[in-house]
A and B are shown apart, each in its own frame.
Chain A
Amino acid sequence: MSTVATQQIDEIKSTPWSGGRSPFEAEYGKIMMWFFLLSDAFTFSSLLISYGALRFSSAAWPAPSLVFQSIPGMVDKGQPLVFVGLMTLILILSSVTMVLAVEAGHRNSKKEVVKFMIFTIIGGFMFLGCQALEWTHLHTEGFWWGHIPNKETLEEFFKHGVPLLQQQHSSQQFANLFFTITGFHGFHVFSGVIINIIITLNVLAGTYERRGSYLMVEKIGLYWHFVDLVWVFVFTFFYLV
C-alpha cells in the first residue's frame, strides 16, 4: 500500500515543470547566455530597423555597388562585394571552427578544443583586420561620423540625376549608420575574441577538464555564432540591398 503511494508521488514529481529540476534540461548559464543574446538581438535589430527607416525615407541613397567596390591595398575600383565576401567567408569559417571546438568538447578532447579555439581566434583577428582596412578605405574617401566626401567624390556613389543636397543629406545618414552599426558589430567581434582567448587559456590550464564538462566552450560558442548571425544581416542590408 505504502509503496504504491510513494510511486504516485514520484510520478507527479518527475514531470518537467513540477520543480526540483530544469524544465528546459539546460544549464543555468547557458539559458542566461541565450537570454542575453535575445536582448542583443533586440539592440541590433533596433539599429538595423532605424537604418531601414532612414533609408526608406530618403529619395536617394549611395549605391552599395558603387561605395564598396575596392579591395583595400590591391584594387581601387570595379570589384564590388569581393572584399566583403572575403570577410563573410572568414566569419562563417570561424563559426565552423567554433562549433568543431564545441563538438570536440563533448568528446572531452582537450587537444582538439585548443586547436579549434585557436583557429577561431585567428579567424576573429582576420575579420577585425579586414574591417580596419574597410574603415580606413572609407575614411580616406572622406566618410566618417559627421563627415562626407567632397562634391566630386560624392557624385561617383550615386546613379545619375540626384540633386547635390539630396546626395549630401543621404550620404551623411549612410556614413553615420554604417560606422555605428559595423562599429557596434566589430566591438562584439572584438569582445568575442577576448573572451575566446580567456576560455582557451582556461582550457589549457585544465579548468574544464577538472570540471568534467566543456560547457563554457559551448556558451562562448553561442556568443560567437550570434556575432556571425548579426554579420549575415549587416552583410545583406548594407552590401546587397
Chain B
Amino acid sequence: MSSEITNVHTDEAGHHGEHETMTKKRIYQVLYILLGITAVEFIIALVLAPHQIVPQVLVNPIYIILTLFKAFYIVAYFMHLKFEKIGFALAIILPILFIIGLILVLTNESHYWIDLRKTILG
C-alpha cells in the first residue's frame, strides 16, 4: 500500500502502465486529421464558397466547427489532456466556458453599435 503511494510521488510524469499514451502511430494519425481538416477548409474557401456550392450563411459556421475540431485534436492528443485525470481536464476545460459568455455579450453589443452607427451617420 505505502509503496503505491510513494510510487505516485517519485513517478514525476504521472505515467503508469495502465495509462494510454501517445505512440508514434497515433501522433501521425492526429497529424493526418489536422492536415485533412485544413485541406477541407481550403477547398471550401477556394472552390466551394466562390462557386456558391455551399450556401454563404453556412460557410462561417462550418469554418468555426472545423476549427473547434482541430482545437480538440491538438488539446486532447498533442497536449495529452485526454490522458490526464478527468478532474484535471475539467479544471482546464470548464473555465474556458466563460469565454462563451464574452462572445455572447460582445456579439449582442456589436449589433447595437451597428444600429447606432446607422442612426447617427445615416
Contacts and interface: CB of A to CB of B under 8 A. Distances in A.
B117 interface: yes
Contacts of A232: 67, 70-71, 74
B52 interface: no
A213 interface: yes
B106 A25 contact: no
Interface residues of A, number: 64
Contacts of B114: 56-59
A65 to B, nearest CB: 7
A34 B89 CA distance: 10
A156 B98 CA distance: 39
A103 interface: yes
A85 B42 contact: yes
Contacts of B23: 103
A220 to B, nearest CB: 12
B60 A99 contact: no
Given A14-B4, A80-B46, A229-B74, A52 B9 contact: no
Given A22-B8, A222-B79, A81 B107 contact: no
Residue of A80, A81, A100, A236 ringed by the most chain B CB atoms within 10 A: A236
Interface of B: prevailing SS: helix
Nearest to B81: A34
A30 B88 CA distance: 11
A225 B117 contact: no
A215 B12 contact: yes
Nearest to A98: B78
Given A52-B106, A59-B117, A228-B74, A26 B1 contact: no
Interface of A: 7, 10-11, 13-14, 16, 20-27, 30-31, 34-35, 38, 41-42, 45-46, 49-50, 52-59, 65, 80-81, 85, 88-89, 92-93, 95-96, 98-100, 102-103, 106, 212-213, 215, 218, 221-222, 225-226, 228-229, 232-233, 236, 240-241
